[in-house]
Amino acid sequence: MIQYRDARTIDGPALAAMARESFTETFGTLYDPKDLGAFLDEAFGPNGLPAQLSDPDFAIRLALDDGKIIGFVKMGPVTFPGEWRPDAIELYQFYVLRPWHGSGVAQEMMAWALDHARSHGAREVILSVYVDNHRAHRFYERYGFRDIGRIAFRVGTTVDDDNLMRLVL
């Protein structure tokens, strides 16, 4: 049975392992293995995602199946370059392991993310998504997110285009 709860500091190692697995299964073939490894170490190593579990600027919600983390969503202050409204919030990462795609996990976590944004006074949610991640684009568009530009996303020597998307709440 799938359960949902806020992440805790103790979840750091398991959450980092799940994030590495999800990123690799989705994007691993796009990058040189050495670059991918360095990116994963930076993003999900001790100073990355696990450190944000104790940072009050971030909120992370987990989806668990029999105690195993199978998905998460992370919200926090907007860090993209440019001028942003003070009442904007960023949806940083939204990962669900492939075996749970289509199971309703993503919809449950999106409902939490939008409720979290509203309850913290946000008037808009900003995110970035890889331009060729068509499944994610369709998912976000169903919630009303719209493309507002592009941003570079670097993994080692590879620079990908991400679409910036915004949802006005």
**C-beta atoms surrounding 95 within 10 Å:** 22
Q: Where do the domains of the chain lie, and which CATH numbers do they carry?
A: 2-168 (3.40.630.30)
CB neighbours of 51 closer than 8 A, spacing ≥ 6? 12
pLDDT (0 to 100) of residue 72: 98
Q: Using one digit for the tens of pLDDT, what is the confidence trace for 110-128?
A: 999 999 999 999 999 999 9
pLDDT of residue 82: 86
Confidence (pTM): 0.94
Q: 125-164: per-residue pLDDT in tens?
A: 999 999 999 999 999 999 999 999 999 999 989 999 999 9
